[in-house]
């Protein structure tokens, strides 16, 4: 009986195992393989050594990613908190509005920002009517970061919001009861208890921000190459799979390190913030 | 008004979500008193507690704390602390930090915090649990942390919202004794909310019986048990046979086709009344010696006594007796004058006190997770 059911379980799991092997493990293997070989397939460390030429891009990617993540958090947390305190109808409507842009194509949304930010774009046109500007906004670092924030903000709001709505109301009352004013309630109870949501929000914004390649091309005008753009170019234009693979590998390691550092600060909890 | 009243609720009314929860409630509570708000779910007892704590504002009426109106004062500025139904402990803090929470808000020096927390943990028998994670504690231990956390800030009044509801029977009994001891040794006013009449009777100085947002009776445990005001109180606290009766004159009541001498007076001649006879106050005798006689229709062994249902002229009486009476036997009942309690007719007359549909009423102790009332 025991044997049969475990066989059955294995049978049911087999498609997923095959999928994982084919689309997760195998690509990883190829990334590692390419990273440590040359065009002829011989082992080499040249690709890794070549990375020193890209230090600036790595630093920029991580800096932009961090800035975007921090700003997302600063916008998302108060928003999610206020939302979680609102009436049921307000909550439903706002969540719908947050999700709505996600139903539209990412590329189209980024293109729209180009139209908005251009020197002769909509924003400058409106400002011009008011006698201000024009401001040069497109093709700046700020525009790239704005694009990241705009695209990834929902991924920060949703996990924080969902953990805040589940927060036991009596915990807040208990804190008030023990003498906390509103500020202390938030500082000493609400924020610590919502850390799992914050952590998953940070993860879900930081990782795609660091590795994005499209936003920087369209809103940065090519002047703010990020690591994602560089990797894309190696595969699409330079056909240097080996260098592209080593860049990807290092990016992956860097993200893992960043995540590990962050989790060290918040690991004392059982987590459970990964929702959506 | 009496002296040393610590909190006084005056004409409190409140509606929540379109339901009238409290209707013109008046209640004052003396300092160092152990007072229990007792009633079924939805009677307004928890709401009363939350009004005192400051979590809800009454629609009308005043809350007077030591002669000062505190209606608009937020919870964190009231010298009142609460033990929540499900403890509401902070899971991100360990035992020590949970208890220290209120002291840290007050920004006491570290030395003092440490000393007071240790003292409190000692009082609730949790010495050495300082570093323990909240989630690793049993229900009883979490309960103690909640008590320590509330008491360490030295409240004038401690509010307890069904604090023992989630504990098993044995632990409940132990905690009842412990809470009473803590209350007496610290000399703090306890306002205790429960739906468990036994808990109320054994712990309280004063019991406030509530139903439907209205106080039905206020009195000592002995008062509310022996002299219930109406059929609701008689039925809710202990078991009662409640019969329709007529006062023939002072100290003479007629029910079940028989006239009984009783101790009650002051009723109108031939006034219709409710008569309460507690099951343990009836003596079982041979049929010829009884004032009433009837047929035993069911017998249940309860350990200390037998609980028998006796049919007397169609009305089913519950009687507790230590002598076994077989089903179907005819017995006589003898009732002493002081076993009879007369009540004025009320809206509750006729709703309670007949055991004809009696089927081992569920002891509410067996369902500790009674639905929360708002």
pLDDT of residue B368: 43
Q: Give residue B108's region: left, alpha or beta (phi > 0; psi -120 to 50).
A: beta
A37 is written with which tokens?
Answer: 């070989």
Q: Do A170 and B86 touch (CB under 8 A)?
A: yes
Distance from CA of B105 to the nearest CA of A (A): 6
B5-226: CATH, from 3.40.50.300, 2.60.40.420, 3.40.50.360, 1.10.3720.10:
3.40.50.300
Distance from CA of B75 to the nearest CA of A (A): 5
Range of the domain at A252: 53-266
Q: Do A173 and B84 touch (CB under 8 A)?
A: yes
Is residue A213 in some structural domain? yes
pLDDT of residue A41: 80
Is residue A40 in some structural domain? no
B213 is written with which tokens?
Answer: 């947002």
Q: Do A174 and B82 touch (CB under 8 A)?
A: yes
Is residue A5 in some structural domain? no
pLDDT of residue A185: 93
pLDDT of residue B361: 45
pLDDT of residue B357: 61
Give the best residue of A168, A172, A174, A194 to mutate against chain B (max B CB count within 10 A): A174
pLDDT of residue B2: 60
pLDDT of residue A119: 83
pLDDT of residue A269: 46
Distance from CA of B51 to the nearest CA of A (A): 12
Is the Cβ–Cβ distance between A183 and A176 less than 8 Å?
A: no
- Could you tell me how many residues make up chain B? 374
- Helix, strand and coil percent figures for chain B, each rounded to 5: 25, 35, 40
What is the tally of helices (H) and strands (E) in chain B? 8, 20
Is residue A46 in some structural domain? no
Q: Long-range contacts: B259-266, Cβ < 8 Å, 24+?
A: B260/B291, B260/B335, B260/B337, B260/B340, B261/B337, B262/B337, B262/B340, B262/B341, B262/B342, B263/B337, B263/B338, B263/B340, B264/B340, B264/B341, B264/B342
pLDDT of residue A130: 86
Tell me which chain B residues have a C-beta less than 8 angstroms from the C-beta of A168: 86, 88
CATH number at residue A177: 1.10.3720.10
CATH 1.20.1300.10 fits B239-360, yes or no: no
Cis peptide before A134 (omega within 30 of 0): yes
pLDDT of residue A44: 85
B171 is written with which tokens?
Answer: 């632990």
> Which segments of chain A have a pLDDT < 50?
1, 268-276
pLDDT of residue A5: 66
pLDDT of residue A146: 92
Q: Do B82 and A173 touch (CB under 8 A)?
A: yes
Is residue A110 in some structural domain? yes
Domain boundaries, chain B: 5-226, 239-360
Is residue A74 in some structural domain? yes
ipTM of the complex: 0.81
Domain count, chain A: 1
pLDDT of residue B77: 92
**Tens-binned pLDDT, residue by residue, of chain B (374 aa):** 566 899 999 999 999 888 899 999 999 999 999 999 999 988 999 999 999 999 999 999 999 998 899 998 999 999 999 999 888 999 999 999 999 999 999 999 999 999 999 999 998 889 889 999 999 999 889 999 999 999 999 999 999 999 988 788 888 888 899 899 999 988 999 999 999 999 999 999 999 999 999 999 999 999 999 999 999 999 999 889 999 999 999 999 999 889 999 998 889 999 999 999 999 999 999 988 889 989 999 999 988 999 999 999 888 999 999 988 899 999 999 999 999 999 999 888 888 877 776 544 444 444 444 444 44
Whether A240 and chain B come into contact, CB under 8 Å, resolves to no
pLDDT of residue B36: 96
Q: CA-to-CA distance for B75 and B61, rounded, in angstroms?
A: 18
């Amino acid at each position: 009986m025991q044997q049969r059911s475990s066989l059955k379980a294995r049978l049911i799991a087999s498609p997923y195992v095959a999928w994982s092997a084919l689309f997760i493990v195998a690509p990883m293997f190829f990334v590692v393989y390419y990273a440590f070989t040359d065009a002829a397939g011989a082992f080499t460390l040249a690709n890794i050594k070549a990375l020193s030429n890209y230090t600036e891009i790595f630093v920029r990617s991580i800096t932009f990613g961090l800035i975007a993540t921090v700003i997302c958090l600063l916008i998302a947390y108060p928003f999610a908190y206020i939302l979680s305190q609102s009436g049921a109808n307000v909550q439903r409507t706002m969540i719908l509005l947050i999700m709505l842009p996600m139903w539209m194509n990412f590329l189209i949304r980024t293109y729209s920002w180009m139209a908005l930010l251009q020197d002769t774009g909509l924003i400058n046109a409106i400002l011009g009517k008011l006698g201000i500007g024009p401001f040069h906004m497109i093709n700046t670092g700020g525009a790239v970061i704005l694009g990241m924030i705009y695209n990834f903000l929902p991924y920060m709001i949703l996990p924080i919001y969902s953990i805040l709505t589940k927060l036991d109301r009596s915990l807040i009352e208990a804190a008030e009861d023990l003498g906390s004013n509103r500020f202390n309630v938030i500082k000493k109870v609400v924020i610590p208890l919502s850390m799992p949501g914050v952590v998953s929000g940070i993860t879900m914004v930081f990782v795609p921000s660091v590795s994005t390649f499209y936003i920087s091309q369209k809103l940065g005008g090519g002047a703010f190459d990020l690591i994602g753009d560089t990797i894309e170019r190696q595969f699409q234009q330079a056909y240097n799979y080996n260098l592209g693979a080593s860049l990807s590998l290092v990016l992956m390691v860097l993200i893992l390190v960043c995540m590990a550092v962050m989790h060290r600060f918040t690991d004392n909890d059982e987590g459970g913030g990964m929702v959506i | 008004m009496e002296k040393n009243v610590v909190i006084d609720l005056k004409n409190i009314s409140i509606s929540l979500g379109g339901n009238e929860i409290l209707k013109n409630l008046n209640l004052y509570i003396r300092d160092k008193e152990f007072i229990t708000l007792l009633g079924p779910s939805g009677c307004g007892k928890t709401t009363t507690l939350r009004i005192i704590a400051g979590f809800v504002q009454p629609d009308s009426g005043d809350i007077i704390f030591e002669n000062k109106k505190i209606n608009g004062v937020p919870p964190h500025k009231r010298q009142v602390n609460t033990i929540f139904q499900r403890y509401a402990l902070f899971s991100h803090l360990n035992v020590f930090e949970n208890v220290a929470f209120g002291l840290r808000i007050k920004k006491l020096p570290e030395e003092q915090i440490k000393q007071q927390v240790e003292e409190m943990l000692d009082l609730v028998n949790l010495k050495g649990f300082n570093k323990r994670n909240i989630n690793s504690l049993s229900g009883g231990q979490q309960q103690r942390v909640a008590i320590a956390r509330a008491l360490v800030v030295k409240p004038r009044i401690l509010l307890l919202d069904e604090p023992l509801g989630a504990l098993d029977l044995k632990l409940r009994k132990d905690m009842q004794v412990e809470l009473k001891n803590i209350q007496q040794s610290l000399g703090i006013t306890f306002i205790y909310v429960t739906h468990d009449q036994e808990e109320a009777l054994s712990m309280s100085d004063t019991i406030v019986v509530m139903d439907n947002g209205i106080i039905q009776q206020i009195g000592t445990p002995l008062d509310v048990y022996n002299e219930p005001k109406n059929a609701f109180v008689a039925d809710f606290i202990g078991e009662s046979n409640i019969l329709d009766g007529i006062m023939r004159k002072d100290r003479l009541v007629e029910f079940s086709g028989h006239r009984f001498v009783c101790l009650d007076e002051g009723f109108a001649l031939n006034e219709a009344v409710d008569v309460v006879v507690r099951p343990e106050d009836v003596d079982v005798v041979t049929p010829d010696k009884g004032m009433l006689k009837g047929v035993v229709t069911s017998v249940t062994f309860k350990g200390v006594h037998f609980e028998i249902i006796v049919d007397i002229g169609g009305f089913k009486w519950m009687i507790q007796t230590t002598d076994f009476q077989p089903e179907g036997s005819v017995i006589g009942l003898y009732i002493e004058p002081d076993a009879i309690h007369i009540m004025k007719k009320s809206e509750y007359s006729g709703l309670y006190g007949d055991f004809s549909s009696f089927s081992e009423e569920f002891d509410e102790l067996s369902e500790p997770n009674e639905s929360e009332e708002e």
